[in-house]
Structure 1
Amino acid sequence: MRVLVIGRGGREHAIVWALSKSPKISKLFCAPGNGGIAGLAECVPITELQFEEISTFAKEQAIDLVMVAPDDPLAAGLVDHLESKGIEAFGPRANAAIIEGSKVFMKELLKKYSIPTATYESFDAYEPAIAYLRSQTAPIVIKADGLAAGKGVTVAQTMEEAEAALKDIMVDQVFGKSGASVVIEEFLTGQEMSLLAFVDGSTVRLMVPSQDHKPVFDNDKGPNTGGMGTYSPLPHIPESIVQEALVNIVQPTADAMVKEGRPFKGVLYAGLILTPNGVKTIEFNARFGDPETQVILPRLKTDLLDIFLAINNGTLAEQPIEWSEEAAVCVIVASPGYPGPYPKGLPITGLDQVKDSLVFHAGTAIEDGQIVTNGGRVLGITGIGKDIIEARQKAYADADRIHFDGKHYRTDIAMKALK
């Protein structure tokens, strides 16, 4: 088969890496790809929202499957567009991807079907939103309705911070149209867990759980990022909690989407929090997580292409899926200044010195034959070991072998599992 992956980040590098192991794939493309993906697939200079160019390329190259990985093209309807051209695509259609594309839609869906989540109110005008906010107490959570590259959520510790976040979103429009509506919700305390699932409409098959680290600095300090590291499995979270999440949240959500006439086919990502009152939903995403994918797929023993095809064929229930017992820890190495403004084009050295880890490129490019930085999150260093301790040691040892000016990373990834 000839397969095209859409995207350019660490998630896409991990997906391409997993697909490259499939004996069924004769040719692998990625649009637009990055400096690391180029070593596994032919990178094509087409961006994620160039729908006509993607479908034309797929026709010209006789592509058998287009795997749409990022949130923006899913929400904008790339899968629908490809299907309308007679091209097989993997990922939810736009009417299902809305579960990520609109936080208001997601919260209203959960409320309608009594699926556990934080109490909330949604607003599409600033004055009622600020009036409601001033009737609440901190800490409190402010969310832009639409997609904002993982940065549209503020966990405000003070009312001043909350009011500033609301003004940024609705008055100053720092996220553009994504901030036309907001969700203001209660702050929940507890451990967080990322639970991804393969879904073909009604059949839900959980992947191995993982835990992300959003704040930029150690001990969960500083502003939120797209994710500074992750690990799997979660030895400190019992299987009973995972099953509770499946029974009370993930399966009912898939069923609700079918009832709403929006069957979800693809990867459904549940961002969950383990509260004293049970597992509750923080968010849903309509695709693989980043950087969760970089620890989940290295633990997958089954051919990823077989799973994609089973989902598209509606035969996921019959598809065997096997997972490794090994542990994986991913440390994100970021550009100086991230998650604020950061430089690009910094030369990266030491990649050839990596000994024990997988290196997934998130924000890199090739300039004059040299790998350089080209994003905020630059590399994901994934160590694999018999347990979290060994995987963690490998990831950090190799993160230290890689150099570019001003690089930074958290030093406490996966420590919650060891405490």
Structure 2
Amino acid sequence: MTPRQTPMTAPMEPPAHGLRPGTARAAMSYPKFRLVFIGLALSQIGTWMQNVTLPAYIQDRTGRPALVGVAIAVQLGPLLLFSIPAGALADKVSKQRLMLAMQSASAVLTLGTAYLVATEANVWWIFAVQAGIGTANALNAPAFQASMPLLVHRSDLPGAISLNSAMINGTRVMGPVGAAVLGAAGLSIAGIFVINSISYVAFIVALVLVSMPDVKADTLVRGWRQLGVGLQIARGRLVLSRLLVGMFSFSAISLIYVGLFPSVAELNFGIAADSSAYRWLYATWGLGAFFGAISVGTFLSRFHRRVLIVRGLTGYAVALAVFSQLRDDVSPFAVGFVLGFCYFMTATAITTSLQLNLRDGERASVMPLWFMVFGGTVPIGNLIGGVLFEIVGPRTVLGVGAAWALFLAWWLDLRRQPPSAFLSEADGGETPPDLVPRRA
């Protein structure tokens, strides 16, 4: 059985902004989107201050890459476990209230992390609290991704997704830089976590001020069977299943270094995980990811996303192969920038293609699968990768990831798929690459 759609909000009127549809500038012309975007960006700066600091803290305190992998697993693992139930929950309750509750819970649990670090508690207590934060994030994510795209007209969705990805990676730069500056000024690691807790207020305020659209799907199934609606939709539309399977394997095999970044820095480049050099290296990689994400909605917007996916995966494979073999503490900055650029240019193009092949009422059911394969799979790779780092070393593990990315550049070439594999243009789907007008 397939889901019926019952929109709870009227379709948004065609945009009158006078800008080229689908660009980042067009998306920012919507006041509600702009306010939520700014609030989330301020919150994300604090989040990335903690995300770069906590793994480095675990690496410095324990000297065990495997435990760094555990730290990432407990934070991202709930995405794998709870994303589908969270999507079903988001279709039953107010998405806005659910997001407010989860953001508030995350703020309180982050304060708990600060206390545990300040008192040098057992790291397993820290892992337990991080699992709570990860669970709140898993319950929040489907509701947010089902609501945020509705703040702009569907024709401007590519620009909104590009901006959102760029914001995540821009804050990925500002967070580590802010942590490095505050650390140099004498602020403790626990103090950095307190600032992260306070930063949640910015997004909470934006959610209070903006009335988020709430489109629900009226499905023909009930109870526990409703959890499988997203899988039914993905199986019935080849482009969705291909993108989801491809991202699952990419996250598990080719993104291992993301969570284990401090271990790679120490073992391959001789850069201490607790040093400012490490934070600058991470920020440089994040800066590349920022430009890669924003490029999809700006200077690369003239290229179809199916083209960008292939080129991005190819460039990523080459950059990761080089990055894995570096042995000095200077060249990783330049290569890391290119690696970050290719990574999030590809991820943004894939996310955009996925979203544009979904009807509005399908997002709450299918996007949980995206969180599972993109974020939820990373902890599996990190757990296995952390052990393999200690057995065979990072260079071999990352080399395998580079080879797999090169294979995916061929396997995820959607230009070879028939029109029936995609959502039709009449339903809001993408224009095929051969019909996209060429721009100077």
- TM-score bracket, normalised by the shorter chain, equals under 0.3
- The TM-score with structure 2 as length reference comes to 0.25
TM-score, length basis structure 1? 0.26
Larger % of helix: which?
Answer: 2
